[in-house]
Structure 1
Amino acid sequence: MSLTDRYNRNLNYLRVSVTDRCNLRCIYCSPHNPLPLPHEDILTYEEILRIIRTGVRLGISKVRITGGEPLVRKGIYSFLKELGRIEGISDISLTTNGVFLKDNLEKIRSAGIKRLNISMDTLNRLRFKEITGRDNFDKVWEGIMSAHEMGFDPIKINVVVLNGINDDELTELAKLSFSYPFHIRFIEYMPIGNQKLEGINQDLELLAPDIMKRISVLGILNPVENGINDGPADRYQFEGAKGEIGLIRPLSHHFCYKCNRLRLTANGHLRACLLSDKEDDIKGPLRKGCSDSELADIFLEAVRHKPFEHHVRARHSSGVSGQMSAIGG
């Protein structure tokens, strides 16, 4: 048994949402304060570890922990340490909004995590509050600097490009790559969820070619070859820069043909495609006492119906109804 789908893609990367709760209310993720899932609907850490171990036996070698915001969940650091003990995982990383990062970096590092993805869509303190609903810019920036000083590498700064909101900051954000060895990753805004976002010009998409055009005023961008543990970002580096620029292009040039991901949602479903509402329940059988072999079959079933590509931009697409905070990003 292996996690190879009908299009010959080898799915060796599992993104695990440990909670749907978050201490921020970002306008593109959970703008309307949705009710959190009841605690009994959330997978326990023991259940998550058993599911991950099953995935590893099938070929999962890379695991990313996400949320919501993973650092708001009680017991997360003990869980990360247990995760780091699972043989067969070659890469464990963490996506966080950075608010609780500074005071917990030692615990994160002791769990064996070296790679961090930190969401930061603006360098403007007031705008940070407008986007996230919280005045936490300083906490996040201090967390980034502390992680840098402690030697976390790579540190990836995730920037969701919001036309009409933060698109005037693209060059300033890209300049960070000259001063620090950070990977500044510009992400095309994905229309996930049913809400219309105030202030975002959704009728005029701001996609990767225009992002590249805007930041190219800073200098020549040279392509960088992707490594074995890299995700879907197209990587570039300005001449003379310490860091890199990444472009994640789910709309303008989707990477479905090489997608190697499965997602485990906080409420216990395997999701083979971020931009599809199709999911497979793994929590139900798990709590009914299914065997490891039966858990493996659920993985294989999810892999079997992984679509070749998403259809978010298709003319008759109904889009994705779930909120990003509940899916795990």
Structure 2
Amino acid sequence: MTDRCNLQCVYCHTLPDCGLIEREFVSRIVSRASSPRFEGGSPSIQRGQDGRDTGTPSTLGFEEILHIVRLFAGCGITKVRLTGGEPLLRRDIVRLVSEFAAIDGIEELSATTNGVFLKSLAAELRAAGLQRVNISVDSIDRETYERITGFDLLPGVLEGIHRAIDAGLTPVKINSVIIKGLNDSEEQITALAGLSADLPLSVRFIEYCPTNNSTRPATDYVPNATVRAVIERKYGPLSGAEMSCGNGPAEYFKAPNSAGTIGFISGRSSNFCRSCSRLRLTSDGKVMPCLYSARAHDLKTLISSGQSDRQIRSFLSRIITEKANYTKSNSLKEEFSMCKIGG
């Protein structure tokens, strides 16, 4: 949706060319986020007084992205996830959700967010047609959260989680990246897992994947087997659990007497390429069949060249068919920016 973000997480979004929102605007963004509604649903790429925008000049506009999602739906795509950057920075996000939800063939509509705006937007997004959210929270210790993200915003994010549950954006999933020397202590890991003890949500531990704009080295990776062992020492053996939606690479488990679940996405220690069915559309209109491949198809340029929708759907169908040829082992590239590909 955008490559812009209002946080500065050490594993994702730290270089200026990734579109970090200037620090001076963050307090303004947060204060406006407490209002009942953000004004200005314009798809303009200029930043509004609330600090929200639609990104850089190359970012897909309202009609462009709507057109592309309709084309994908015509090729059989049934599930859409809105990512970033931070997708809720787009001032037209609620209108886009409403339009996406009305597209024939789209059965599941979700978003991945840092949660900063959820306390004010959760109900509005649900009413527009968003079905569920994944929320990135790497620590529930306020000081550690600030070290990871660059900002002291944890209380509002935790409130946003409760607002999302109350609004029916369920099952809410918490995405947590564990990094050696930062949030890998037993206390930090079990506190995150403990969110699923009392709340009907899933806490998912995602193995650290270094990118070309990470500030942490590849050696800071903590295997999920280690994380699971820490959790089981605290909460007892985890038993297998089913999730009713998503169908992604996560494996889900349940701790004894817990309200929610615990998931593991082990992208470094395991290989789930053969079962991957996802395509990524970047904020500037490129289609990527594989997160680990440098191959990207410039859909925005193709559309602007005057190709018919039928021709473009045929092009997309070929990309979908060829996706099975991509695997981590034969596609791996050394550098990519997570904020630019919605990883």
Matches within 5 A, 1:72-91: 72-91=89-108
Gaps of 5+ in 1: 1-17
Matches within 5 A, 1:12-23: 18-23=1-6
* Contact 2:84–2:342, Cα closer than 8 Å, also in 1: yes
* Contact 2:123–2:163, Cα closer than 8 Å, also in 1: no
Say which structure, 1 or 2, has more relative contact order (CA 8 Å, 6+ apart): 1
1:309 aligns with 2:327: yes
* Contact 1:98–1:119, Cα closer than 8 Å, also in 2: yes
Aligned partner of 1:253 in structure 2 is 270
Worse overlay, 38-47 or 238-247: 38-47
Deviation readout 1:143-192 (Å, 9 max, x if unpaired): 11122233321000000111111111111111111111110000001122
Distance (whole Å) between structure 2 residues aligned to residue 308 and residue 248 of structure 1:
19
1:197 aligns with 2:215: yes
Number of matched residues? 305
Quick one: which of 214, 217, 222 aligns to 1:206?
Answer: 222
Quick one: which of 307, 315, 324 aligns to 2:338?
Answer: 324
Quick one: which of 167, 175, 183 aligns to 1:166?
Answer: 183
Aligned partner of 1:224 in structure 2 is 241
What is the aligned-residue RMSD (CA, Å)? 1.9
Quick one: which of 136, 149, 173 aligns to 1:119?
Answer: 136
1:288 aligns with 2:280: no
Paired letter, 2:301: G
Aligned partner of 1:184 in structure 2 is 203
* Contact 2:252–2:264, Cα closer than 8 Å, also in 1: yes
Matches within 5 A, 1:35-54: 36=19, 39-54=56-71
Worse overlay, 271-280 or 217-226: 217-226
Paired letter, 2:237: I
* Contact 1:25–1:132, Cα closer than 8 Å, also in 2: yes
Paired letter, 1:213: A
CA change 1:192–1:302 in 2 (3 A) is farther
Identity %: 38
Q: Report the structure, 1 or 2, having the larger helix content.
A: 2
Deviation readout 1:26-47 (Å, 9 max, x if unpaired): 1111112325397331111211
* Contact 1:61–1:90, Cα closer than 8 Å, also in 2: yes
Aligned partner of 1:9 in structure 2 is none
Distance (whole Å) between structure 2 residues aligned to residue 140 and residue 162 of structure 1:
20
Aligned partner of 2:48 in structure 1 is none
Normalising to structure 1: TM-score of the pair? 0.88
CA change 1:38–1:238 in 2 (3 A) is closer
Paired letter, 2:215: L
* Contact 2:289–2:326, Cα closer than 8 Å, also in 1: no
Paired letter, 1:171: T
Quick one: which of 95, 110, 120 aligns to 1:103?
Answer: 120
Gaps of 5+ in 2: 20-53
Aligned partner of 1:92 in structure 2 is 109
Distance (whole Å) between structure 2 residues aligned to residue 58 and residue 149 of structure 1:
34
* Contact 2:138–2:145, Cα closer than 8 Å, also in 1: yes
Normalising to structure 2: TM-score of the pair? 0.84
Aligned partner of 2:293 in structure 1 is 276
* Contact 1:20–1:325, Cα closer than 8 Å, also in 2: yes
Paired letter, 1:107: E
* Contact 2:18–2:340, Cα closer than 8 Å, also in 1: no
Aligned partner of 1:15 in structure 2 is none
* Contact 2:126–2:168, Cα closer than 8 Å, also in 1: no
Quick one: which of 26, 29, 32 aligns to 2:9?
Answer: 26
Aligned partner of 2:39 in structure 1 is none
CA change 1:318–1:287 in 2 (3 A) is closer
Aligned partner of 2:316 in structure 1 is 299
